[in-house]
Amino acid sequence: MSRISTPDLTDEHPGARAIELQLRNFGGVKQFGGAAVTIKCHEDNSLVKACVAEPGEGRVIVVDGGGSLRRALLGDMLAEEAARNGWAGLVIHGVIRDVDEIGATALGVQALGTTPLKTEKLGMGQRDIAVSFGGVTINPGDYVYADNNGVIVSAQPLL
């Protein structure tokens, strides 16, 4: 994928929607993009674990964790598996843990922040549905682009 600049992309494509949250870039890859696979879950990362085990094919996992700051939806082992399986990155409306290890992993990761606490594994949540956070609805198959400036979403590929 060519270099991603979300400011340049929004200048060229005014219909692109910016997620209105101060997500932080935690991954070893600072610019990433691809087609969205969506997950909605609350303090249970069972679906995230299952998803990262699949072939990523350069896609982006968008996780709506409801903005919870209590339980990490991604840690180092899942991030490493996502990178091995070809995922471009994850955008998480929630928190992560193992930030030093994730920062050394060849994966894009944007999240609200961090916590040391893991989630319960109860198999709860939904996948491949429209998720909404930060003033944007992200549908499965939408295109997501992220860099240090933020995260944008488009129904069509911008690169």
Contact 26, 110 (CB under 8 A): yes
- Mean pLDDT value of segment 106-112: 98
> For residue 5, what is the DSSP state?
-
Report pLDDT digits (tens) over 123-158: 999 999 999 999 999 999 999 999 999 999 999 999
**How far from the centroid of its chain's Cα atoms is residue 85's Cα?**
15
pLDDT of amino acid 62 = 99
Alpha-carbon distance 2 to 138, whole Å?
23
CATH topology for 6-14+24-153 is Glucose Oxidase; domain 1 (3.50.30)
pLDDT band for 13, please (50, 70, 90 cuts). very high
Pairing of strands 150-154, 17-18: antiparallel
Predicted pLDDT of residue 27: 98
Per-residue model confidence as pLDDT tens digits over 23-57? 999 999 999 999 999 999 999 999 999 999 999 99
> What average pLDDT score do residues 100-111 get?
98
Phi, psi of 84 (to 5 degrees): -60, -35
Q: Which pLDDT score is estimated for 17?
A: 98
From the list 80, 63, 83, the residue with the least C-alpha distance to 72 is: 63
